[in-house]
Amino acid sequence: MCFSECSDVSPLLEQFVCSVCLDVLADPVSTPCGHNFCRTCLTHCWDNTPRCLCPLCNEIFTKRPELKINTTLREVVDHFKKKSKVQQMIQERLKKIKDIRHSVELGKTNTEKEIADSVEVFGSLMCSITRNQAELLQVMEEKQKAAERQAEGLIKDLEQEITDLKRRDTELEQLSHTEDHIHLLQVSVPLSAQRQHSTSQDNTPHAEVTVLSQLQKNLNKKLNLTINIKSQQYSVDVTLDPDTAHPRLILCNDGKQVSYGDAKQNLPDHPKRFDRCPVVLGKEGFSSGKFYYEVQVKGKTHWDVGVARESVNRKGQITLSPQDGCWTVCLRNGNDYKACDAPSIPLTLKEKPQTVGVFVDYEEGLVSFYDVEARSHIYSFTGQSFTEKLYPYFSPFTSVKGTNSAPLIISHIFKTE
């Protein structure tokens, strides 16, 4: 453990730092002049100098001292390392609490926006739909309340863990002043008992809303019309950029299809080209506003679709996550759908998408994915902060035992007046 990682206990650990490597002592040994060093550091110093002297005070030893590990000092150093680990765990849980609360606030903002959009949609419907509007709004509010209750439960669990860790930290602090080293070594802190918490969206079904069948059909028709208008209003003409394509990818002449080839093509090593992962980007990037495009994934068992920032790593392996500049969803093994976050989020879809719609609101920090045929939402990355151009991202993946040969096809969206 580096000394810089132990800022909360640095006044205590400072006396246990090796003056050669400036790190916490490992297998500490003492010189006749009373100074302590890592055994490896001191041995290396003496092996590379004609005289044996103390690296700290420069006292010269006529005979090379025999180095023996100071076990008591090593035990004390190990004790303070444990104490530092406990404090680090406390900070991690405090950060999780902060992230959960931020997620709740973000969900509340999105719910308020959904309510406002719903009011606008329902305002144009018949009076009979207006009578059911309050009931539908209540369903959305109950969903938000359920999310808040879930978040509060996670916060309580984390706060309890923090309380337990603080208690252990206090015990270690008290033990640090004892001279009974045997008793000190008998105390251990179970640092491996960490539970994983998730703040992913609550996918529990909505409460059933009792409406007349004809009114329900009218409502579905109106909602589908809203999605059509949104996609047509912000749709863009996406063309694949051959300068970015991996050498094994085959692009059609019109720049609308990409598939994985059996042989590697002899292409110039362009700085923009992906050289390890089978990826290609769209030609045009977007640094503001909203845009939408659709890509056909029919017949494929593996694929990645989304957007990537301009500075995304193009050489070597790629990590698909927002932290690494990629906002994507993917399919693996025919039915394993995931949102590529850190860690990835499994997605449960009622139907197998044949065409995936991608919608981006740059200023809002939003990337949403839709099943076009089913008119359903797949996943959204929310609360993102974009500072570079975003480019459409496509990966048909490799051939998998003779399967997955179908291409990814960029759809042409017909705009209507």
CB within 8 A of 178, min separation 6: which ones? 184
Q: What is the pLDDT of residues 141-158, one digit of tens each?
A: 888 988 888 888 889 888
Query: How far apart, in whole angstroms, are the C-alpha atoms of residue 255 and residue 250?
Result: 10
Phi, psi torsion values for 414, nearest 5 degrees = -80, 120
What's the token pair of residue 91?
């900070």
User: Are the CB atoms for 219 and 211 separated by under 8 Å?
Assistant: yes
**DSSP code per residue over 17-50:** B-TTT-SB-SSEEE-TTS-EEEHHHHHHHHHTSS
Asked whether residue 193 carries a pLDDT value surpassing 50, the answer given is no
Sign of CA dihedral 141, 143, 147, 149: positive
* Consecutive H or E run containing 114: helix 71-123
For position 97, what pLDDT does the model report? Answer: 92
pLDDT at position 74 over 60? yes
Q: What is the DSSP letter of 9?
A: G
DSSP-assigned letter for residue 182: H
Claim: this prediction has a pTM higher than 0.75: no
Contacts of 28 (CB under 8 A, 6+ apart): 16, 18, 36, 37, 38, 39, 69, 70, 73, 74, 77
pLDDT of residue 121: 83
**pLDDT at residue 300 above 90?**
yes
Q: In the predicted model, what is the mean pLDDT of residues 384-405? A: 93
CB atoms < 10 A from the CB of 203, how many?
7
CA–CA separation, 50 and 55 (whole Å): 13
Q: What are phi and psi of 84, to 5 degrees?
A: -65, -40
Distance (Å) of CA 157 to CA 94, 98, 198: 12, 14, 12
Model confidence band, residue 186 (pLDDT cutoffs 50, 70, 90): very low
pLDDT band, very low/low/confident/very high, at 9 (cuts 50, 70, 90): very low
The H-assigned helical ranges of 176-282 are 181-186, 213-234
Average pLDDT over residues 178-207: 40
Q: Scanning the structure block, which residue is given the tokens 């490992």? A: 26
Distance, in Å, from the CA atom of 157 to the CA atom of 195, rounded to the nearest integer, reads 10
pLDDT tops 90 at residue 286: yes
Could you tell me the pLDDT band of residue 16, with boundaries at 50, 70 and 90? confident
Residue type for position 86:
V
Share of residues in the chain with pLDDT > 90 (%) = 47
SS3 393: strand
pLDDT mean over 199-217 = 46
Beta strands in 203-309 (DSSP E): 249-251, 257-260, 280-281, 290-296, 303-309
Residue 188 pLDDT grade (very low, low, confident, very high; cuts 50, 70, 90): very low
- Calpha distance 295→305 (Å, rounded): 8
pLDDT reading at 210 higher than 50: no
* Cα(368)–Cα(204) distance, integer angstroms: 20
